Chain A
Amino acid sequence: MTLITALIILGVLALIFGGILGYSAIKFKVDADPLVEQIDAILPQTQCGQCGYPGCKPYAEAIANGDEINKCPPGGEATIKQLADLMGVEPKPLDGDHGVEDIKKVAYIREAECIGCTKCIQACPVDAIIGASKQMHTVIIDECTGCDLCVAPCPVDCIDMLPVKETPKTWQWDLAHSPGEQLGDIPIKQVNS
């Protein structure tokens, strides 16, 4: 008798809690961004293709399907760390096969040498180069992601990737950029130039 009572009580409890769980699963459902969107939001959107995929979105899809997270050189360590946090895996060093982390650069066309072939325009993943056939081309600096994709197609090699110039406005308080000794945990204080 006791056994049966116990079974019944446990059964009823199981039903009740099952019901509550089921209800809350529907009621409090978290509408998370689909994983691909979240990954895509972390990627730097240079669309450079160094990862081996034709753009950031395809790479995001590949990561969601289990590809490695360390194939994005423009994003570098910071992106890998964020991806690792999102995917719940250990951060890895950047995969050297896909390139190395570099300072930010943008493309400049030496306009006098441009022959107007439009090859770079076709290569640019973000439509940041304007120009027309047989006309000089130019880069919209603000839109350029520094992906490098326009350099190779240029038949006359007139595209330079130049580092983005630091201005007082974009300066990030790196007093240590001035050469000199460095003290403490952060590179500041007595910096002799």
Chain B
Amino acid sequence: MIDANNVVQQITKGQLFDFAGGVHPPQQKSLSNTTPINTIAEPERLYIPVKQHIGVQGSIRVCIGQNVSKGEPLTTSGNPFAVPVHASTSGMVVEITEHPSAHPSGLPETTIIIEPDGHAQWQLMPVITDYFSEDKVTLLERICQAGISGLGGAGFPTHIKTNPQKPVECLIINGIECEPYISSDDRIMREHAWQIKQGINILRHIINPKQIIIAVEDNKPEAMDAIKTACIDDTSITIANVPTKYPAGGERQLIQVLTGEEVPHDGLPIDIGCLMYNVGTCYAIADAVLHGKALVQRVVTLTGQALKAPQNVWALLGTPIHHLLTVGDYDPQRQRSQKVIMGGPMMGFTVHNDLVPVVKITNCLLVPDREELPDIQDERPCIRCGLCADACPAGLLPQQLFWHSKAKEYDKAQAYNLDACIECGACAYVCPSEIPLVHYYRKAKSDIKHQAAEKEKSEKARERFETRQARLLADKQAREEKHRLAAEARKKAMEQKGGSDAKDKIAAALARAKAKRAAAQTNKDAEE
């Protein structure tokens, strides 16, 4: 458990901690962070996946042909882990179908397709201006109804996180944005610092933390100034200027930088008294509470040298990326093979086609030209140089994990704490042999997960099989018992009917047969 007052004292003195490893990839933020967030035209169709967060999928409450308003929920569920999705603009539901997902697999997911009517007619929730007098539950309910899940990348339902069962020492607002190229948080801090501050106030009212820290990386001085201005008359908020190093924005790394404490490997930040929110999430919370607006849009960075007009835009959730590529003036000629990365160069994933929609966790579309992020060569043998271990922010030995993952010795990989890997990509970034280390780990992790699931399933199958066998056996025994009893009853009945008479007859018959056999035997002997 951390001591928030201590932490804040140290931060005000300018003392921050460091996390192990880390790398300094070229920032490339200025490609996109120089112009204000652009508002763009609505696309022809919106593709809204019904599940955009970690948790349970809600059930669809609209049907094809139905007209929906902007901000109208499309799904509903009683499950606390379900977060609804909303119509990003007003229009008609034209299709509910399987559509390529905004996921590395690109596998189809249930998606509601809306054709905008061009009016962008809002259906607002009642505005809560006086949130100070509202109780916690009302506000949490609003956050849930507005469909807010972490906008930083993980997509964890915000209302669950905001209802911790332990006291909160430190509320940390994450404005680090350590991934190169991405500037969506940077821009939203510069332009909407005041609304972020309002979101923080709402969170403070709900959580009641001892201290609030806003962390901004020192490569974003303008954002820092904006946040400082917004918080100028609020002395209870501490602003930390965090040195630029990737991945300082990782939840666990940032906690280490600010507090010097580590989150236990099997625990959550709340176990040491920390809660962390992305600045975008704070913005969305303020929108939901103070303006009654559901989460229907987010800032997306369009960047990369293959775009002639890199910029930040307010993209409606569900906007297919071809629309954004048009906005960014995509020039396919600048790429050797057409490739679009959703997210940053370190942790982003390539999308399968241009119909993939923007979802709640989409913070960036990176379209590199052929020189920028060169195609990765075939891997070479590991020379055990140890650069990966020097870069690992989790203190792991990536090459050992690599050996064991590659050899599918998953028990050994786990002994080297494979599950502590945050897949930040620092190891693969520095690897001189160009080994796609992270891919090996992800493969190993999903294999382990898969094996565990299989194991569980086969265990269940075995139980069911054995229960069934036992039941069949019991049935059989019961049947046999029944037959036996019936036979006995018959016998008894017969005995009662025929008395000892029957028995004598059998004995006589047996005696006759015996005599006959003996006679035959004597004859045979005589012949010989």
Q: What is the interface of chain A, defined by CB distance below 8 A to chain B?
A: 40, 43-47, 55-57, 125-128, 143, 145, 166-168, 170-173, 175, 178, 183-186, 188-190, 192-193
Task: Give Cα A46 to B460, complex, Å.
Answer: 10
Which of B111-119, B134-142, B371-379 sits within the interface? B371-379
Look across to chain B and name the residue whose beta carbon is closest to the beta carbon of A125.
B465
Query: Is there an interface contact between A145 and B461, defined as CB atoms closer than 8 Å?
Result: yes
B375–A190 touching, CB < 8 Å: yes
A172–B443 contact, CB under 8 A? Answer: yes
Binds A, one of B61-69, B81-89, B101-109, B208-216: B101-109
Sample (16) of A-B pairs whose CB atoms are under 8 Å apart = A46-B458, A46-B461, A126-B461, A143-B460, A145-B458, A166-B105, A166-B107, A170-B450, A171-B103, A171-B104, A171-B107, A171-B446, A173-B442, A186-B436, A188-B439, A189-B436
Interface residues of B, dominant DSSP: helix
Known: A168-B109, A190-B375. A45 touches B461 (CB 8 A): yes
Distance in angstroms between the alpha carbons of A186 and B434 in the assembled complex: 13
Residues of B with C-beta under 8 A to A46 = 458, 461
CB pair B465–A173 under 8 Å, yes or no, is: no
- B residues 235-274 touching A (CB-CB < 8 Å): none
Q: Across the interface, do B468 and A126 meet the contact criterion of CB distance under 8 Å?
A: yes
Is B337 touching A168 in the complex (CB atoms < 8 A)?
no
- Asked if A47 contacts B378 (CB within 8 A), the reply is no
Known: A184-B378, A186-B440. A47 touches B461 (CB 8 A): yes
Assess whether B462 is in contact with A56, with CB atoms less than 8 Å apart.
yes
Bound-state CA distance A52–B270 (Å) is: 54
Which residue of B is nearest A191, CB measured?
Answer: B350
A40 and B462: CB pair below 8 A? yes
Q: For the complex, what is the distance from the CA of A193 to the CA of B106, rounded to whole Å?
A: 12
Complex CA gap A170/B103 in Å reads 12
| Contact call B450/A185, Cβ cutoff below 8 A | no
Q: Cβ of B28 < 8 Å from any Cβ of A?
A: no
Judge whether A45 and B458 touch: CB under 8 Å. Answer: yes
A116 to chain B, nearest CB (A): 21
Q: Is B479 in the interface zone, CB < 8 Å from A?
A: no
Judge whether B462 and A188 touch: CB under 8 Å: no
Establish whether residues A185 and B105, one from each chain, have CB atoms under 8 Å apart when the complex forms.
no
Set of chain B residues within 8 Å of A171, measured between Cβ atoms:
103-105, 107, 446
Q: How far is the CB of B81 from chain A (nearest CB, A)?
A: 14
Q: Which of B150-192 contact A (CB under 8 A)?
A: none
B-chain residues with CB within 8 Å of residue A186 when the two chains form the complex: 406, 436, 439-440, 443
Q: Give the shortest distance, in Å, between A146 (CB) and chain B (any CB).
A: 10
Q: Are B440 and A45 in contact (CB under 8 A)?
A: no
B490: which A residues are within 8 A, CB to CB? none
Q: In the complex, are the beta carbons of A143 and B461 less than 8 A apart?
A: yes
> In whole angstroms, what is the CA distance A79 to B406 when docked?
19
Compute how far the CA of A128 lies from the CA of B105 in the bound complex, rounded to whole angstroms.
30
Q: How far is the CA of A126 from the CA of B468 in the complex (A)?
A: 7
Known: A45-B458, A186-B436. A193 touches B352 (CB 8 A): yes
